[in-house]
Amino acid sequence: MLIDNFGKLIVEIISIFILILFFDYTFGWLERKSIAKAQFRHGPTYVGKFGILQNLADIVKLLAKENIIPKNADKLIFSAVPPLLLALFIFLIYLLPFSNSLGIELSVGLLAVFVLLSFAPLLIFLAGAASGNKFSLIGAQRSVIMSLAYEVPLILSVAAVALYAGSFNIANIVNSQARIPFIVLMPIGFVVFFIAMLAELERPPFDLREADSELIAGWLVDVGAPYYAIALFVDYTRMFLGSLLISLLFLGGWLGPYLPGLVWLLIKAFAVAIVIVIIRATTVRMRLDRLMRFGWFWLLPLAVLNIILTFMLFVK
């Protein structure tokens, strides 16, 4: 049986990896272009048509440079963490179904994704603490403290989804949205999940870990150019994961008329990503203590309310 499925497995692995690369690259370009649009700039125009090759040129440039590891850094941890983070996020994307035919169906998919996702702040903490720079250390500390603020509401809002669908299987969750997507059924849960996801994705207004204007680049202050390329890759892959999760759990995933499922999923993921970019263009960064207050005084009660409402209205 394993031999029978082996060919299909290889094809799936390769095609999902191509999907990741496609999203990362297109989103990287789209983000630069749309941010530039919001700021009366042109964005990349020179390399390729509409600057579409700019990111490729940047990656080539970054990878061609020398990798410098600071003298004070813990060499092993410092050089292991960025690739590990990348591997973690790519692995997490492999745990998601992309349509009824593409991607794996895990009966505990939802649990697995969110359990593994909570490793990311820890890895970031390790990277920041190991680099031996005080700015990185502050970024690393913020990473851990931040996760206290948003992890609980995140899990609670996901719990409501699982409660309604009666399953931890993401494919089942998507298919139970066939009539009405969950964004309509539980708008409060969607808002909480979206905001917590913004924090998870390190997107403004919650980009405290790498706060450009205070910490220069947070946990990335001391990384060399090749690792910075990896960090960019991590950032975009994480974005893919985030927008996929939002569209799978709340926007009906691959369900949609006329077009094939995968195309619908990508359209939804890109739409979510663009909304996140627009938020980035307009808002000021939050402060750590305010984020904690926001997480515990607003997000958590709302998430609990959402669970109670879901339980009372929909679950018999």
Partner 1 sequence: MLTRINVGPIHPSTHGVLRLVVTLDGDTIVDVEPHIGFLHRGVEKLAENRMYMQSESYMEKLDYAAPMAYSDLYVAAVEEAMGIHIKERAKYVRVILLEFQRIASHLLWLSAFCNDLGQMFTMFTWAMKDRDLILNLLQDVTGSRMFYVNMRLGGVSIDLPQNFEEHANKLLDYLEKRFKEYERFLEKNPVFIERTKDVGILKREDAIALGVTGPVLRASGVNFDVRKDYPYYVYEKLHFIPQVQTKGDSFARYKVRMQEMKESIKLIRDALKLMPEGDALGMPIKLISPPVKEKEVIVRRELPRGEGMIFMVTDKQRPYRLAIRAPSFINLSALRYIARGARFADLFSILGSLDPVMADVDR
Question: Angle 54-64/225-249 helices, nearest 10 degrees?
Answer: 140
128 binds partner 1 (CB under 8 A): no
Q: How far is the CB of 310 from partner 1 (least distance, A)?
A: 27
In the window 45-104, what residues touch partner 1 (CB under 8 A)?
A: none
Which CB atom, from 30 or from 155, has the smaller least distance to partner 1?
A: 30
Which CB atom, from 136 or from 169, has the smaller least distance to partner 1?
A: 136
Q: Which helix (H) or strand (E) holds 261?
A: helix 261-282
In the window 225-284, what residues touch partner 1 (CB under 8 A)?
A: 280-284
Rule CB under 8 A: choose which of 91, 134, 166, 314 binds partner 1: 134
Tokens of 132: 């031996």
135 binds partner 1 (CB under 8 A): yes
Which CB atom, from 107 or from 283, has the smaller least distance to partner 1?
A: 283
Which CB atom, from 205 or from 253, has the smaller least distance to partner 1?
A: 205
Size of the site for partner 1 (CB under 8 A): 28
Beta-carbon contacts of 115 under 8 Å, excluding residues fewer than 6 positions away, are none
Binding segment toward partner 1, per CB under 8 A, in 38-46, 187-195, 226-234, 269-277: 38-46
Cα(171)–Cα(24) distance, integer angstroms: 23
40 binds partner 1 (CB under 8 A): yes
Cα 260 versus chain centre, distance:
24
Rule CB under 8 A: choose which of 10, 18, 38, 180 binds partner 1: 38
214-218 long-range Cβ contacts below 8 angstroms, 24+ apart = 215/135, 215/136, 215/138, 215/139, 216/135, 217/135, 217/139, 218/128, 218/135, 218/136, 218/138, 218/139, 218/140, 218/142
Tokens of 12: 């799936």
Binding segment toward partner 1, per CB under 8 A, in 70-78, 212-220, 256-264, 267-275: 212-220
Q: How far is the CB of 161 from partner 1 (least distance, A)?
A: 27
Q: How far is the CB of 213 from partner 1 (least distance, A)?
A: 4
User: Which is nearest to 174 in space by CA: 257, 254, 259?
Assistant: 254
Rule CB under 8 A: choose which of 62, 216, 274, 300 binds partner 1: 216
41 binds partner 1 (CB under 8 A): yes
Binding segment toward partner 1, per CB under 8 A, in 73-81, 150-158, 201-209, 244-252: 201-209
Cα(240)–Cα(230) distance, integer angstroms: 15
In the window 276-295, what residues touch partner 1 (CB under 8 A)?
A: 280-290
Q: What DSSP line would sit under 210-231, residue for residue?
A: T-HHHHTTGGGTT--HHHHHHH
Q: How far is the CB of 232 from partner 1 (least distance, A)?
A: 16
Position 268, amino acid: K
30 binds partner 1 (CB under 8 A): no
Q: How many CA atoms lie within 13 A of 112 on its CB side?
A: 19
Binding segment toward partner 1, per CB under 8 A, in 39-47, 75-83, 174-182, 306-314: 39-47
DSSP one-letter code for 51: G
Tally the residues of the chain.
Answer: 316
For partner 1, the binding residues (CB under 8 A) are 35, 38-41, 134-135, 138, 204-205, 207-208, 211-214, 216, 280-290
